Amino acid sequence: SYVLTQPPSMSVAPGQTARITCGGNNIGSKSVHWYQQRPGQAPVLVVYDDSDRPSGIPERFSGSNSGNTATLTISRVEAGDEADYYCQVWDTSSDPSYVFGIGTKVTVV
Amino acid sequence: QVQLMQSGAEVKKPGASVKVSCKTSGYTFTGYYIHWVRQAPGQGLEWMGRVNANSGGTKYAQKFQGRVTMTRDRSTTTAYIELSGLRSEDTAVYYCARVPIVVGTPRDYGMDVWGQGTTVTVSS
């Protein structure tokens, strides 16, 4: 199966920039999506197809994808950004076809 | 507005089956897949499979083949997941989420709307 690698956790100060990586074999050839999950809530799509934002998601959230690494960048981090963030891809040649990373817990300190 | 409303929490004994519903509204039901994703306590997200809300066609993760059935009812715009042979490891929150059906491209667009989740507890 296709494997996505994320750091388990990271800390960032308010106002700074958080960069969350998602590693995978030739991930640059796939569409990568990012989800934010606050405690006790359902996931929310914050970036889709590498770098597009759904309506209602602040411009502070951006994404990139090249080679073997995709990155979610959160600029001007706020306390409300504290959450788990998951990357996800669709790999037609893999089982399961839809793969999630293990998630990165972002703590705002 | 677009909503996916799931049925309530379930408590089941090992070996039993559970069926969870996902009632959709506010969009064209047949233009989307409904995916099912679960999350065990303190763990990450795990994809279980999807149903094409238009055709009814399904694709399941190999891990759940033989134990899971995903269906949909176009008349009520509701999707269902049934999981049989429950064991304690199936204790989790089960989510439904929609993904647009797009043909002619290898790209996809992510799970843009999710249900609120249904807690399934398997305990003797």
| Interface contact B110-A49, CB threshold 8 A | yes
pLDDT bucket at B108, cuts 50 / 70 / 90 = confident
CA distances from A104 to A21, A22, A84, B119 (A): 9, 9, 5, 23
pLDDT (mean) for B16-35: 98
For chain B, what is the largest distance between any 2 Cα atoms, rounded to a whole number of angstroms? 48
pLDDT digits (tens, 9 = 90+) for B54-86: 999 999 999 999 999 999 999 999 999 999 999
Query: Tens digit of pLDDT for each residue in A14-30?
Result: 999 999 999 999 999 99
Instruction: Give the model confidence (pLDDT) of A48-96 as tens digits.
Output: 999 999 999 999 999 999 999 999 999 999 999 999 999 999 988 887 7
Amino acid B107: pLDDT: 77
Q: How many CB atoms lie within 10 A of CB A90?
A: 21
Q: Which two tokens stand for residue A68?
A: 């073997």
Mean pLDDT, all residues of chain B: 96
pLDDT tens profile A29-42: 999 999 999 999 99
Chain A contact set for B61 (CB, 8 A): 95-97
Do A98 and B35 count as a contact with CB atoms less than 8 A apart? Answer: yes
Longest dimension (CA), chain A: 41
- CA dist A106 and A83 (Å) reads 6
> What pLDDT is recorded for position A95?
78
Nearest CA distance, A13 vs chain B (angstrom)? 25
